[in-house]
Amino acid sequence: MRIRSFLALGSLTLFGCAVGPDFEAPAPPHVDAYMENPLPEQTVETEGQAGAAQHFVMGGEIPADWWCLFHSKPLNLLIEQGIKKNNTLKAAQAALREAEANYWASVANLFPFVSVGGLAERQRFNASSFDQPNLRPQTFNLFNAGVNVSYTLDVFGGIRRQIEAVGAQEDFANYEEKAAYLTLTANIVTTAITEASLRAQIEATEELVKIQKKNLDIAENRFALGAISKIDALSQATQLYQTESSLPPLQNALAQTRTTLSVLIGELPSECKIHAFSLSEITLPTEIPVSIPCHLVWQRPDIKAAESLLHAASAQIGVATANFFPQFTINGSYGGSSNFIKDLFKGTSNVWTLIGNVAQPVFRAGQLINQRRAAVAAFEQAFAQYRQTVLEAYKNVADVLQALELDAVQLKITTDGEKAATETLKLTQIQYDLGAVSYLNLIIAQRQYHLARVDRIRAEASRLTNTAALFQALGGGWWNYIPPCPVHDVEQCEGEEK
C-alpha cells in the first residue's frame, strides 16, 4: 500500500491530474452505540465455570489471537493447524497473490514498451520482375537489428485510473483473505464449543439411561411381587426407551461436528485425530473489549472489501471518462541494416523511425456515453451494497451484544432450575423408595432433571459461542497482528521491544 502511494504521487507529478472522480472512503455512521438500549457494564453472574460476569470494555483493543482468551490449549493447537492447512484460506491467499501480480502487471502500462529484434535474410533477386531481362539474377544477404519503443502518453489519466481499479481489486482480495482467516478461526472455536456441548448432553442422557435402567429393574421386581401395577412397570420401560431414542440424534450430531472440524483443519475425517473437547476446559472470557462504533467500518473485513469494490467502481468512471479524450502514442525504432553482419552497427548502416500518433474519437454511435453511464450505475450499485454491508455489520454486533446479555440471564435461570430439579429428584426418589409417591411422580422428576441439566449445558455453550461470535463481529483484531520474528532476527526484535 505504501509503495502504491509513492507510485501514485510519482505518476501525478509526471502526467498531471486524471479525469474522473477522486475516490474518498464514505464517512462512518455517526453513532455512539450499537444497540437501542445502553450497553450494561457487566452481565449477570451465576455459579459454575461459565457463569462469571462479563465486563464490557468500550474502546478496548481486540487481540489478533482473540481465541487465546478461552484458555484452551487443545483449541489453540487446532486453530494453528487450521491456519496452516485449511484449503479455503489457502485459496484466498492464492487469490491475493494473483491480485498483487495483476496490479504490478497493470503498472507496466505507465512505462514505455521496449523490444529488441533481429532479422537474417538470404534472397535471390531477379531483375526481370522490373522489366530488366538483361541483368543477371543476384543472390544477397540482408541483416537487420534494432530496438523498438512504443509509449502511450497518459495525458488524461485513463491508464492511471485503470491501475487504480486493479489496485482496488487487490485490496478486495486482501480483505477477502482476512475475512477467510477470521471466518476459519471463529468456525473452529464455535464448532469445538458445539462438540463439547453435544458431548456433555450425551453424557447427561447416558447417566439418565443408567438410572432409568436401574429403576426399571426395581419396577419389574416390584411388579413380580405384586407391589406395583403392570402400567407402572410399562411406564418406566416406555420412559427408558424414549430417553434412549434421544441418544442417536445427539451422537449423529457429534459425529458430524467432528467431521466438520476435520475439514476446517484440512484433514480427511478418517485420518484426523481431534481432541475430545469438554465445556470444563474452555474458559469464558470475562473482559470483553468492544470497539468504538465509528471504528467498525475499518475493522470489519467485509466492510473494507465492499469499500474496495466501491473504489474500483469509482476508478472505472475515470477510465470511461478518459475514453472521450484523445489518445497520444509515440512509436520509435533505431537499428542497423546491412548485407554483412560486420557492417551492421556502422554509422552508414543506421536506420531509425519516429512516429507520433493522435486518435480522437468522433463517432462511436453512443458507445462511449453509454459506457460511462454504465460505470456510474455500477458505482451507485456498489455504494448501495456498501451501505447494506455496513448496516448488516452493525446489526450483527448489536444482536450478539444483546444475546450475551440475555445468555447470562438464561444461564442463571437454567442453573437455578437444575438445582431445583436435582433436589426434587432426590426427594422424589426417597419418597418413592418409601412408597410415599407413585412411580409416575418419579418418572416426571427424572425427566425434569434431565431437561434442566441439558438446558444448563446449552446455556453454557451459548455464552461461549456468542462470545466468539462477538469477537468475529467486531473484526477479530487482524489489525493488531504482528508477524513472528525470523530466527535470525529474534535478538534484534527482542532488542526493539526493550
Residues of the chain with CATH 2.20.200.10: 112-153+326-359
Q: How confident is the model at residue 406 (pLDDT cuts 50, 70, 90)?
A: very high
How much is the pLDDT for 449?
92
- Give residue for cell 491508464: 159
Rounded to an integer, what is the distance from CA 186 to the centroid of its chain?
10
Q: Residue 57: is its pLDDT beyond 70?
A: yes
How much is the pLDDT for 229?
67
How much is the pLDDT for 494?
39
Least confident of 313-317, 358-362, 409-413, 419-423: 358-362
The answer to whether 99 and 4 have CB atoms below 8 angstroms apart is no
Query: SS3 of 23, please?
Result: coil
Q: Residue 214: is its pLDDT beyond 90?
A: no
- If phi > 0 it is left, if psi is from -120 to 50 it is alpha, else beta; for residue 353 that is beta
pLDDT cut 90: percent of the chain above it: 61
How much is the pLDDT for 484?
56
Q: How confident is the model at residue 74 (pLDDT cuts 50, 70, 90)?
A: very high
Of 317, 318, 324, 313, which is closest to residue 368 (Cα–Cα)? 324
For residue 165, give the amino acid letter.
A
Provide the mean pLDDT of the chain: 87
Q: How confident is the model at residue 173 (pLDDT cuts 50, 70, 90)?
A: very high
How much is the pLDDT for 344?
72
pLDDT digits (tens, 9 = 90+) for 341-354: 777 777 777 888 88
Q: How confident is the model at residue 371 (pLDDT cuts 50, 70, 90)?
A: very high
The answer to whether 470 and 477 have CB atoms below 8 angstroms apart is no
Q: How confident is the model at residue 496 (pLDDT cuts 50, 70, 90)?
A: very low
The H-or-E segment that residue 335 falls in is strand 327-338
Q: Residue 252: is its pLDDT beyond 70?
A: yes
For residue 26, give the amino acid letter.
P
CATH number of 2-110+156-325+368-483: 1.20.1600.10
Q: What are phi and psi of 497, to 5 degrees?
A: -65, -40
How much is the pLDDT for 435?
78
Least confident of 6-10, 369-373, 420-424: 6-10
Residues of the chain with CATH 1.20.1600.10: 2-110+156-325+368-483
Task: Kindly indicate whether the domain formed by 112-153+326-359 is annotated with CATH number 1.10.10.10.
Answer: no
pLDDT digits (tens, 9 = 90+) for 106-135: 999 999 998 888 888 887 776 666 666 666
Least confident of 266-280, 383-397, 409-423: 266-280
